[in-house]
């Protein structure tokens, strides 16, 4: 285990720095965005994203957040419909009950709801965007971020044929991405990784199983050690720590946990058990900024590297990820990617772009640092719900 060290974050807007925010209303909007190409994991294949956007109003400002739940319970039990239900009937009434004094206050109001981290995160993101706007600072400054550019990699889904995958690897390396991550599953793993490594012996390469394997596959997974991978992400079940610890003891390659880490408590337990050496922080998966920051601080204090995972977010979620990834503990390239990686047109202006050196600029403008393309969002909206403080 890496040596612990003290970390003291400075400048976070966790308590409100002025008067509490009296929220006036919350809007839940479902927006259908077509993907530029299908994206397949061991769990599902997507051709479009039904994005859940939340907008929170206060003091003449609008804070935007995104809920990363899918239409089907593949990655998580949460879905678009569970998120709408939980926000409408439980989280929104708690948020609107009285003025919010800070992020921890809001997170505490949601604590009575078991699980449903993605729904909680959407509201925490919207609130933090509001708070940053009121203080006239960027999201990164609000979170005490330190970087003005973050390194990024790309996640490549399972393809019909190996040549299709190799073509995508070549294309994204040419675009500057610093790390290639391959989705794997049984029958699409060792031989595929071997060929990618043979053709690209020096690239930073990792794999992501999305819980497709079990402890019975230890000997098979050990074959991945020969390819010099940065990490093997989430090989076992979503709720498992113990079997991951057993696997890590047999591997020279670092295990990275994703689905198994749903908050700072499970992150601490994973590190204590030796279940992983790297943690992927997805702000939606862990329930919002309060938990994401706590996990970051824990890992940084222990010298454990973290990186920012992606969930095929629109530009709104992508902007929040950029702000989070500007914190000092995010030392590995994240799955943030350019807008054009997934969408022909994004919901923010300008679109997120990756520079030739494989980095993305962290916006320095107030709030998200991007303009919200409200007109395009309206055209792509499928349904909209409004929950007002006076009418709830």
> Contact at 8 Å (CB) between 366 and 329?
no
> Contact at 8 Å (CB) between 351 and 327?
no
Cα 162 to Cα 319: distance, rounded to the nearest angstrom:
33
> Contact at 8 Å (CB) between 109 and 95?
yes
ω into residue 350 within 30 of 0, thus cis?
Answer: yes
Among 175, 176, 209, 178, which Cα is nearest to 192's? 209
Query: Which residue in the list 120, 181, 183, 185 is annotated as catalytic?
Result: 183
- In the residue annotation, 282 being an active-site residue is answered as yes
Query: Which residue in the list 120, 181, 185, 282 is annotated as catalytic?
Result: 282
DSSP 211-262: T---GGGHHHHHGGGGG--S-EE--S-TT-SHHHHHHHTT-SSPEEESTT--
User: What are the backbone dihedrals phi and psi of residue 140, each rounded to the nearest 5 degrees, phi first?
Assistant: -60, -45
According to DSSP, residue 268 is labeled H
Centroid of chain to Cα 20: 28
Among 308, 249, 250, which Cα is nearest to 278's? 308
Provide the b/e sequence for 125-150 (b: ≥16 CB within 10 Å): bbbbbbbbbbbebbbbbbbbbbbeeb
Kindly list the catalytic residues: 183, 282
């Amino acid at each position: 285990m890496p040596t612990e060290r003290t970390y003291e974050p400075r400048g976070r807007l966790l308590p409100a720095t002025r008067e509490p925010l009296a929220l006036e209303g919350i809007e839940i909007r479902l927006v259908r965005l077509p993907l530029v190409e299908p994206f397949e994991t061991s769990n599902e294949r997507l051709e479009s994203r039904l994005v859940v956007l939340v907008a929170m109003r206060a003091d003449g400002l609008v804070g935007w957040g995104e809920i990363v739940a899918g239409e089907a319970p593949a990655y998580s039990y949460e879905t678009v419909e569970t998120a709408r239900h939980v926000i409408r009937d439980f989280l929104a009434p708690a948020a609107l009950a009285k003025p919010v004094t800070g992020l921890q206050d809001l997170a505490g109001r949601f604590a009575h709801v078991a699980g449903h981290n993605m729904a909680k995160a959407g509201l925490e993101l919207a609130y933090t965007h509001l708070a940053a706007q009121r203080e006239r600072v960027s999201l990164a400054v609000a979170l005490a971020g330190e970087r003005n550019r973050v390194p990024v990699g790309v996640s490549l889904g399972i393809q019909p044929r190996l040549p299709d995958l190799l073509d995508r690897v070549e294309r994204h390396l040419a675009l500057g991405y610093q790390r290639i991550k391959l989705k794997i599953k049984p029958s699409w793993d060792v031989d595929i990784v071997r060929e990618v490594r043979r053709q690209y012996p020096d690239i930073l390469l990792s794999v992501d199983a999305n819980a497709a394997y079990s402890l019975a596959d230890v000997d098979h997974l050990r074959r991945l050690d020969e390819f010099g991978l940065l990490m093997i992400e989430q090989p076992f079940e979503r709720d498992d720590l113990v079997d991951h610890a057993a696997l890590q003891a047999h591997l020279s390659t670092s295990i990275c946990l994703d689905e198994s880490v749903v908050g700072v408590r499970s992150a601490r337990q994973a590190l204590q058990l030796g279940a992983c050496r790297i943690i992927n922080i997805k702000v939606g998966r862990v329930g919002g900024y309060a938990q994401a920051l706590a996990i970051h601080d824990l890992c940084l204090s222990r010298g454990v590297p973290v990186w920012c995972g992606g969930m095929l977010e629109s530009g709104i979620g992508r902007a929040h990820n950029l702000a989070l990834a500007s914190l000092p503990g995010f030392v590995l390239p994240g799955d943030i990617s350019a807008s054009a990686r997934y969408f022909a047109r994004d919901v923010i202006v300008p679109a997120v772009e990756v520079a030739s050196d494989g980095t993305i600029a962290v916006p320095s403008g107030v709030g998200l640092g991007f303009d919200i393309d409200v007109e395009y969002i309206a055209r792509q909206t499928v349904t909209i719900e409004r929950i007002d403080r006076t009418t709830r």
